[in-house]
Homo-oligomer: A and B are copies of this chain.
Amino acid sequence: MAEKKKAVTEKEAATTCACQKVRMAARAVTRAYDRALRPSGLRSTQFSILVAASVAEGIPLHRLAEILGLERTSLTRNLAAIEREGLIQVTSVDGRTRSVLLTPVGSARLKQALPLWAQAQQTLRARVGEKDWPILDHSLAKLKEVA
């Protein structure tokens, strides 16, 4: 006996959509971190890229994109802006493989940004609460893993 499937309603989508929720959260958090990082002249994404490039210097671009959870082609575009500013240099490893190097200017900028980041992170963490923080961390990791 085929059961009648309940039709999905607009209201349900409006109140439960996980995509909407995670995007909304990401926008809010990004606005906060961007504001905090502003004195450094870096946006959240640029900060993330510099940090990753600093920790994993010399790895191929497609690996860096993978680490950052970014489409490879999105990374290419993001790199253009910070390369224009002289913070990084994209160099050829071999004829087809390229990788990111931090310039001294980029390193200095990152050093300047780190305390600003720490402040934003600490503020958010305090507001989320020590109890919920690791739960949040786990939730986001899970989401990324299964999506």
Residues of A whose CB lies within 8 Å of any CB of B are: 7-11, 13-14, 16-33, 44-45, 47-48, 51-52, 54-55, 68-71, 110, 114-115, 117-118, 120-121, 124-125, 127-128, 132, 135-144, 146-147
For A21, the chain B residues whose CB sits under 8 A away are 137, 140-141, 144
Of B13, B24, B115, B117, which contacts A144 at CB under 8 A?
Answer: B24
Q: Are A23 and B45 in contact (CB under 8 A)?
A: yes
For A26, the chain B residues whose CB sits under 8 A away are 22-23, 25-26
Q: With A and B bound together, what is the CA distance between A20 and B117 in angstroms?
A: 11
The 8 A-B residue pairs with the shortest CB-CB distance in the complex, in nearest-first order:
A24-B69, A127-B146, A26-B26, A28-B147, A19-B33, A25-B143, A139-B139, A8-B118
Task: Please name the residue on chain B nearest to A33 by beta carbon.
Answer: B19
Q: Are B114 and A24 in contact (CB under 8 A)?
A: no
Of B14, B31, B137, which contacts A55 at CB under 8 A?
Answer: B14
Task: Please name the residue on chain B nearest to A50 by beta carbon.
Answer: B10
Of B44, B52, B143, which contacts A28 at CB under 8 A?
Answer: B143
Q: Shortest distance in angstroms between A58's beta carbon and chain B's nearest beta carbon? A: 15
Q: Are A25 and B27 in contact (CB under 8 A)?
A: no
Of B7, B125, B127, B132, which contacts A139 at CB under 8 A?
Answer: B132
